[in-house]
Structure 1
């Protein structure tokens, strides 16, 4: 990653307003949520809650094409297996936006941003985002200048 800098104030996407849209049920003693992308029921862990809220935001508010979003996609970096939380592709199926999700109680830090940047290394995605459900940081990457800048909003898709 390029040099360190102080990010702007985090962006509040008001994700909790999508909570009523989540399809949640009890299965035994576990709360389950239906993933609109993977089309299956998952244990409703805090990080999964953030992922699902973000999916509703991207599809509903931002009008991202649901067929261009992958969830927990595997990738290999230096022979190690990793998974991106959310990866959005553009109309030409090029990686467009990589999102690293954290549970609401996890503070967003430089380490979290570095994690997203590490996952991005082989993909060269133009936009990186980290989110814990309350706060989000979005960065546009300039590979030619080996630099980045923080944005105050999620980029338009397409």
Structure 2
């Protein structure tokens, strides 16, 4: 596997390396960081030994000789899906301890592709550095403080980042809400439509949950109220998909977590293929396969398109699409 940052180093093709390379692509393509400011497997002094941090991001315009442990600004630890966030050795605590070992690091992120946790250091009442969870790492040039987002901060999804987000969200709903996979998928679909509705029609973002809101029930209910209003508009616009009596059936804490996993993306600006791959991943592996139904493989779809060679004036009839609902849902997700 070729390293995305230097374009020359061959790295072992492992599940952990796959996650790391996807994060590296996301840092550059979505968050706007310069490859020159990113170091992979960067060594730091950790107690009496030296360890290698998966990814370190430095402030812009530093020379290579100035990129040291004392100037590191953001660190990221990437693991395989088998490693859980709660594990003492390789979980979130490892990343937090690496952050503490770097005096000027402000932000850190831990991910295994399915779970993601981001933290920032704040100054406590007695002057000590205290780690607090934040929804996401900041874009290049932004601070670590997370408040009400702006639409110009949203970013198109790149590579498999949206796929990871959908997968995390679906798994979190199923695991924390006690739902079966079909029900969990339907709740996720409601929130995806709320996100699209927000991007299309809101004058300012409503699809968000701030760190402070996630810390108390009043804030959680405020987030639930915003998303609930978006869903009311969704039901009005898509009565063939959602019934008038339907509600979002998620605990406020679960809802706020899912919102933080999706809020940073611009679904409208994301590439259709990126959205399609993410959507098919969730539906194909977590829902339709259980019922003996599967998506036609992409290579077969491409072959059929090449054989037909349709123009933009041709009318295509999909005879195996029995439900108008599914057609409309897929269209709006891809649009």
TM interval, shorter chain, is: 0.7 to 0.9
The CA deviation at 1:142 is: 1.3
* Structure 2 residue 84 is matched with structure 1 residue 84: no
Match of 2:110 in 1: 130
**Based on CA coordinates, which of the two structures has the bigger radius of gyration?**
2
Q: Distance in 2 between matches of 1:76 and 1:96?
A: 16
* 1:80-118 Cα shifts (integer Å, max 9, x gaps): 121100000112543221111110221112632221122
Q: Distance in 1 between matches of 2:79 and 2:32?
A: 23
Root-mean-square deviation over aligned CA pairs: 1.7
Segments of 5+ residues of structure 2 without an aligned counterpart are: 63-70, 142-335
Q: Distance in 1 between matches of 2:83 and 2:112?
A: 7
Match of 1:140 in 2: 120
Larger deviation, residues 105-114 vs 58-67: 105-114
User: Which residue, out of 111, 120, 131, partners 2:99?
Assistant: 120
- State the aligned residue count: 126
5 Å matches for 1:54-73? 54-73=23-42
The CA deviation at 1:121 is: 2.7
Segments of 5+ residues of structure 1 without an aligned counterpart are: 1-32
5 Å matches for 1:3-152? 33-38=1-6, 39-91=8-60, 93=62, 94-109=71-86, 111=88, 112-124=91-103, 125-143=105-123, 144-152=127-135
1 or 2, which has the higher helix percentage? 2
Q: Distance in 2 between matches of 1:92 and 1:142?
A: 25
Alpha carbons 2:118, 2:133 under 8 Å: kept = yes
Match of 2:137 in 1: 154
TM-score (norm 1): 0.72
Q: Distance in 1 between matches of 2:20 and 2:76?
A: 9
Higher RCO (Cα < 8 Å, 6 or more apart)? 1
Alpha carbons 2:37, 2:61 under 8 Å: kept = no
